[in-house]
Amino acid sequence: MKPILIIEDEVSLVKILKSVFEKNDFVVDTAYNGENGLAQFKTKTYDCVILDITMPRMDGWEVLNEIRERSDVPIVMMTALTGEDYELKGYDLKADDYVTKPFSPKVLVAKVKNLVDRYEGTYKENKSQLSVENLIYDKARHRVEIEGKSIELSKKEFDLLGFLLEQKGFTLSRDQILEHVWDFDSFAGERIVDAFIKSLRKKLGEPYSKMIKTVRGVGYRMDEEL
């Protein structure tokens, strides 16, 4: 069963699409405006997002841009707007496909199946998922989960956690962390590392925050288990 998210303000269309996708072994979550859709996306891991453009409270372009800042999940845009410029804008913002209403739900299902199959293949090939106990770090989807719950991190917090996990068991100096995560080193920068470690620990919460050990006079180490 493949989880997908449909963000569309036309209730009747959502009902049709939900029914068709569920008959094709998809698990479907829905949202009826862009703001709620983005909030929903942040709570779970999806294999594809089907996204309308013209919606209240936050349009599809804004949602697409927000999602792309944190994830490369396949996204299919759908709209009643016609014209080459709209399609080109969608592709410029890194949408994977584009359908114009009215369209065949069966054709949309076929498009999504192809995107999901390719995405999963790339994901498995890249081996981009790291984990410790029930903490899962998914680099390809830019997502961190603890016991199934998504943890919101900034880009630098996400990169920092990834580096610690990649080097788990090894003590890393502040200079090493600076160079890898921030691409520079300076005396002032060492304080940045300490501040982000503190913030990261707070967001991970106990007991996972305790996995990031302070090595006095040197730096930090990610333990391999709780």
Q: Is the pTM of this model over 0.85?
A: no
Please report the pLDDT score of residue 167 as a whole number.
85
CB-hemisphere CA count at 13 Å for 17?
29
- Cβ atoms 224, 170 nearer than 8 A: no
Percent of the chain with pLDDT over 90: 43
Distances (CA, A) of 51 to 10, 73, 151: 12, 12, 23
* Cα–Cα distance for residue pair 19/14, rounded to 1 Å: 8
What is the enclosing helix (H) or strand (E) of 182?
A: none
Please report the pLDDT score of residue 94 as a whole number.
81
Please, is 60 exposed, middle or buried when counting C-beta atoms within 10 Å of its C-beta (0-12, 13-18, 19+)?
buried
Asked if the model's pLDDT at residue 208 lies above 80, the reply is yes
Domains and CATH numbers, the chain: 2-126 (3.40.50.2300), 129-222 (1.10.10.10)
Check residues 58 and 125 and name the one with the higher pLDDT: 58
The tokens describing 74, both together, are: 């396949």
pLDDT by residue (tens digit) across 106-161?
999 999 998 888 776 554 444 567 888 889 998 877 889 998 889 999 888 999 99
Check residues 66 and 21 and name the one with the higher pLDDT: 21
Average pLDDT over residues 59-77: 88
Asked if the model's pLDDT at residue 17 lies above 90, the reply is yes
Q: What is the edge-to-edge ordering of all strands in the sheet holding 149-151?
A: 129-132, 135-138, 143-146, 149-151
Q: How confident is the model at residue 8 (pLDDT cuts 50, 70, 90)?
A: very high
pLDDT by residue (tens digit) across 171-201?
888 888 888 887 664 544 678 899 999 999 9
Average pLDDT over residues 7-29: 95
* Cα–Cα distance for residue pair 175/184, rounded to 1 Å: 8
What is the enclosing helix (H) or strand (E) of 223?
A: none
- Cβ atoms 140, 149 nearer than 8 A: no
At position 124, the amino acid (one-letter code) is K
Average pLDDT over residues 164-168: 87
* Cα–Cα distance for residue pair 62/116, rounded to 1 Å: 23
Please report the pLDDT score of residue 71 as a whole number.
80
